[in-house]
Structure 1
Amino acid sequence: MFEDRADAGDRLAAELERRGLEADVVLGIPRGALPVARPVADALDADLDVVVARKLGAPNNPELAIGAVASDGAVWRNDDLVERLDVSESYLETVRAEEAENARKKADRYRETAGLPDLAGTRVVVVDDGVATGATATACLRQVRESDAAAVVLAVPVGSPRSIEALREEADEVVSLRTPSDFRAVGQYYRDFGQVSDQEAIEYLDRSR
């Protein structure tokens, strides 16, 4: 059990240091990942930035992720779920376009320049506060992959075993402090899992190392 996201970040940073992992850039997935990513970036002496994705909600059930799209349009879809729910291609394209635009707007709120920083040849650690379906993490990792980073690591405090295993196909390495067999939701592993506002998240980016 983590006290809060800062505690989770400290523990994650300690594990990455123990493994001897090196990074040039740490990318947090807003908003909840920023309090986790800040101590990771500090420990690894790396720059902190963001990578943004939005989930694609199912028809009549927007909380159910049938996929996700990153701010550059990189998309991941759960084809099994799409088929099971009989989701039309027209619906998918409409919601993809809407959420890609929302992701771009969100990314613009966090940085002065559009798009990711120049990641070509860099070692990147993508951080989230936890992984449930893995939809947004997958879309974010694919966006980073497209940027020609030399190495991409996903680091999270906790995640669904099934999702963590699937994400190993998307990153060079995946580090999860906990992968409980009875996983139900990320929040159940935090004593304090309150919402993080955009302003709070931006403040983590603004802190000097």
Structure 2
Amino acid sequence: MERPYTDRREAGRLLATQLSAYAGRRDVIVLALPRGGVPVAYEIARTLRVALDVLPVCKLGLPWQPELAMGALSSNGAQYVDSALVRTAGVSEAQLQSAMALARIELGRREARYRGERAPLAVAGRVAIVVDDGMATGASLKAAAHALATLGPARIVAALPVAPAGSQDRLTGAVDEFVCARMPATFYSVGQFYLDFDQVDDETVRELLDAAAADDGGNAAGPA
């Protein structure tokens, strides 16, 4: 068994080696799923010398089991709902709508906190590399991919340090390329593959985005 990643930033540096074909391209943007995906994505964007931004997505947890995702919403209004899980778990329409309303409030808060006055970076016509610190159900990543599709990217690439074996099948039709550094057969949680898996706070997200913007080198504007 491979040793766990030291932390998310090490995972990002290692994952970046599998994305070298995208290095130095102004038509490439790395989009992090906050909060855990931001330190991973920061290292990828820095290594590849491409632009970095966030794509806030809020998980919809089951009312009585919040850690189990029944879907997710993205900040531009796209949504993904696992209809089979909702039906099997007996979630009512009122419960689902309540979860969505709370998620929209949280998404608005995150947008203001992470970006401040900075506008989202252009995605249309670019290769969008969507990054998280790992994947369990894939609900958040699916929501992000559906959100991106409405923005007109040239290509959507999902990039992950770790995911269960066969995870790419869950994203069929949602992404154009799936890049994952580790896909173990035995998978209990994303956190088991990190020595340091402490929660990433809002301030850390903002600091990394500010650092990436300061070191952008003109990539934020997209292709010339």
**Which TM-score band applies after superposition, normalised by the shorter structure?**
over 0.9
1:54-133 alignment runs, 5 A limit: 54-113=58-117, 116-133=120-137
Deviations 1:105-157 (A, max 9, x none): 21221113587432111111111000011111111111111101111111010
Unaligned 5+ runs, structure 2: 216-224
Q: Contact 1:153–1:172 at 8 Å: present in 2 too?
A: yes
Q: Does 1:170 align with 2:201?
A: no
Relative to the length of structure 2, the TM-score reads 0.87
* Separation in 1, partners of 2:138, 2:117: 27
Q: Contact 2:22–2:28 at 8 Å: present in 1 too?
A: no
The alpha-carbon deviation at position 54 of structure 1 amounts to: 0.8
The alpha-carbon deviation at position 104 of structure 1 amounts to: 2.3
**Counterpart amino acid of 1:67?**
G
Q: Any idea what SS the aligned residue of 1:132 has?
A: coil
* Separation in 2, partners of 1:73, 1:113: 20
Unaligned 5+ runs, structure 1: none
Q: Contact 1:108–1:114 at 8 Å: present in 2 too?
A: no
Q: Any idea what SS the aligned residue of 1:98 has?
A: helix
Look up the match of 1:3: 6
Deviations 1:63-84 (A, max 9, x none): 2211111112211111111111
Q: Contact 1:65–1:133 at 8 Å: present in 2 too?
A: yes
* Separation in 2, partners of 1:168, 1:27: 19
* Separation in 1, partners of 2:207, 2:9: 14
Look up the match of 2:163: 159
**Counterpart amino acid of 2:183?**
T
Tell which has more relative contact order, 1 or 2 (C-alpha 8 A, sep 6+).
2
* Separation in 1, partners of 2:54, 2:148: 11
* Separation in 1, partners of 2:117, 2:205: 17
Q: Any idea what SS the aligned residue of 2:137 has?
A: coil
Q: Does 1:12 align with 2:18?
A: no
**Counterpart amino acid of 1:177?**
A
Number of residue pairs aligned between Structure 1 and Structure 2: 207
Relative to the length of structure 1, the TM-score reads 0.93
Change in Cα spacing, 1:115 to 1:104, as seen in structure 2 (3 Å) is farther
Q: In terms of mean alpha carbon deviation, does 69-78 or 112-121 score higher?
A: 112-121
Over aligned residues, Cα RMSD in angstroms? 1.6
